[in-house]
């Protein structure tokens, strides 16, 4: 499995690198030939951009008195964005994909550990409702889940999550305020959120807030989302998304939080360092800190630092 993931990550990186080179060559050729005489008249309504990182981590020990396990790690994430803007219409589509793992005890009794697993898609259509081009009436759809099984390590035999267990689907209509490029806020007074748990074992225990034995839970309430993607300096980019939701039907005022942040520092065209964090609080998700201990909703936090190949195109 690890070998397959590595091969797939390598192919994705190679493809993106080739695409970037072709885009740059075409742009240079157009400039030399004078095709782009007035950029304002040639900018198409569609814009496609994206970025990707492939980070490596490795450690090896031989006769090391202090002890230690050989290990190798790989973390990859890709962000793709397609936007349409013409007259009063604005349509944004974003795909975030990430997967990471670490193998401990390489060459001995290998132990596989998943370190990152994310699949999220967001699409939002907005219609301009104010002459200053900052306010839009927006319909938004957000879907997120994961790829692989998750375990409460060191127990790697009992799965506590997998693809579509959980899965989240949110649909809402609201107002978007976009004061500057790279930042917007969205507020919906009434959004529907579906939680899916398509695993009989997990659903029988009422995992992720579903009723025991059920595969889906529906909630309806206000939803807020703020999205920032700006260059802080020439080679420093900050991307952050904050989501807040509460349910009118049950426990109104108990706010679910999902806040992610990614800071990327480019070394050169191909190398970069990245720092990512994610903070989650979901009142429907019980966390068990120790085997046999008391479980309940707790603040979840994840932090990752990586150095490796980086790539961006527009």
Q: Which residue has the higher pLDDT, 43 or 17?
A: 43
pLDDT of residue 175: 97
Average pLDDT for 265-290: 88
- What SS3 state is found at 106? coil
Highest mean pLDDT among 26-35, 45-54, 281-290: 45-54
pLDDT of residue 5: 42
List the domain boundaries for the chain. 44-61+69-313
Of 41-45, 114-118, 169-173, which gets the smallest average pLDDT? 41-45
Q: What is the mean pLDDT of the chain?
A: 86
User: What predicted TM-score, i.e. pTM, was given to this entire model?
Assistant: 0.82
Handedness of CA 308, 162, 298, 256 (dihedral sign): positive
Average pLDDT for 157-180: 95
Domain 44-61+69-313 has CATH 2.40.230: yes
Nearest-angstrom CA–CA distance, 301 and 148: 19
31-44 burial by CB neighbour count: b if 16+ within 10 A, else e? Answer: eeeeeeeeeeeeee
Nearest-angstrom CA–CA distance, 15 and 25: 16
Please name which of 229, 227, 209 lies closest in space to residue 218, comparing C-alpha atoms: 209
> Residue 114: pLDDT above 70?
yes
């Amino acid at each position: 499995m690890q070998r397959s993931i590595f091969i797939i990550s390598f192919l994705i990186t190679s493809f993106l690198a080739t695409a970037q080179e072709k885009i740059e060559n075409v742009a240079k050729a157009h400039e030399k030939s004078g095709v782009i005489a007035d950029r304002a008249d040639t900018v198409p309504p569609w814009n496609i951009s994206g970025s990707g990182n492939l980070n490596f981590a490795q450690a090896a020990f031989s006769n090391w008195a202090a002890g230690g396990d050989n290990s190798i790690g790989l973390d990859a994430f890709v962000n793709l964005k397609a936007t349409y803007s013409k007259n009063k219409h604005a349509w944004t589509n974003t795909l975030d994909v990430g997967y990471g793992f670490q193998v401990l005890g390489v060459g001995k009794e290998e132990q596989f550990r998943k370190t990152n697993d994310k699949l999220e898609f967001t699409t939002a259509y907005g219609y301009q409702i104010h002459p200053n081009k900052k306010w839009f009436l927006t319909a938004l759809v957000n879907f997120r889940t994961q790829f692989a099984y998750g375990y409460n390590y060191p127990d790697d035999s009992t799965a506590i999550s997998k693809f579509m267990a959980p899965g989240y689907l949110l649909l809402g209509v609201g107002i978007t305020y976009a004061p500057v490029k790279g930042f917007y806020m969205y507020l919906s007074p009434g959004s529907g959120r579906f939680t899916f748990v398509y695993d009989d074992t997990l659903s029988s225990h009422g995992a992720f807030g579903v009723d025991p034995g059920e595969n889906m839970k529906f909630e309806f309430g206000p939803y807020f989302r703020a999205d920032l993607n700006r260059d802080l300096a020439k080679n420093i980019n900050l991307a952050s998304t904050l989501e807040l939701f509460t349910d009118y039907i049950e426990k109104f005022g108990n706010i679910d939080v999902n806040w992610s942040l990614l800071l990327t520092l480019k070394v050169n065209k191909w190398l970069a360092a990245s720092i990512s964090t994610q903070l989650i609080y979901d009142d429907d998700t019980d966390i068990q800190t120790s085997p046999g201990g008391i479980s309940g909703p707790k603040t979840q936090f994840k932090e990752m630092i990586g150095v490796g190949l980086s790539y961006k195109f527009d």
